[in-house]
Amino acid sequence: MSNNKKNTGNKNTLLLVTAAVVAVLAVVVVFLNPGVQKDTTKLVATKADDNNNKETESTTENTSEIADARGFSVNEDGDVVIQIADITDQASFYEYDADGTAVGLFAVKASDGTIRTALNTCQVCNGSPYAYFEQNADKVQCQNCGNMFNLDMIEQERGGCNPVPISDGEKIAEDNEIIIPASYLNENAQYFKNWKKF
């Protein structure tokens, strides 16, 4: 009788160990499968979700589809066009393809109701892949050095680790939209050579 219990106990232990090994292998296969990884070469526009403060992401090769979803488009001259009505106090982050280099930029509504625009990098950290900003409440934070900047300061200061402002002379602000010329984005593509290349 005791041999029977011992055999049953050994079988149960063996089954548990086998199940655990299979589960671990399944997790490893899912995370290491290259077919599951995202294609990061496409144009991306993101906007923080107002309800749960998480970012949602939309990818497409056709910029006009992004315009429908995010208020971001590229006109016939290749300029970025942002619809003012779509900009809130939750920053809209965009990536523009400047001849194969992803140039990051964002737009956000400041507390005074004005729309602020900036390149999504800074003069100090721009050589780092982590030289980009993410929103944290009413501030943006550099992911390289950790410095935080109030949304009301966006586009007000130049230099240092704050986001590089896209000032009035570098964009065209109209009643319903903001146009950021392709020439400006292409000139500043040099700041993004290592950007988000982890």
- What string of pLDDT tens digits covers the 198 residues of the chain? 555 555 555 666 665 666 555 555 544 443 444 333 333 323 444 443 333 344 444 333 443 334 434 457 999 999 999 999 999 999 999 999 999 999 999 999 999 999 999 999 988 999 999 999 999 999 999 999 999 999 999 999 887 888 999 999 999 999 899 999 999 999 999 999 999 998
Specify the 3-state DSSP secondary structure of 109: strand
> For 38-84, what is each residue's pLDDT tens digit?
333 234 444 433 333 444 443 334 433 344 344 579 999 999 999 99
Share of the chain above pLDDT 90, in %: 58
* CA terminus-to-terminus distance, the chain: 61
Distance CA 144, CA 129 (A): 8
pTM of the entire predicted model: 0.66
Beta strands in the chain (DSSP E): 43-48, 55-60, 72-74, 80-83, 92-98, 101-109, 115-122, 133-136, 139-142, 148-150, 163-165, 172-173, 177-180
Distance CA 113, CA 77 (A): 29
The reported pLDDT for the residue numbered 151 is 95
Give the CA-trace dihedral at 56, 95, 115, 132, to 10 degrees. 80
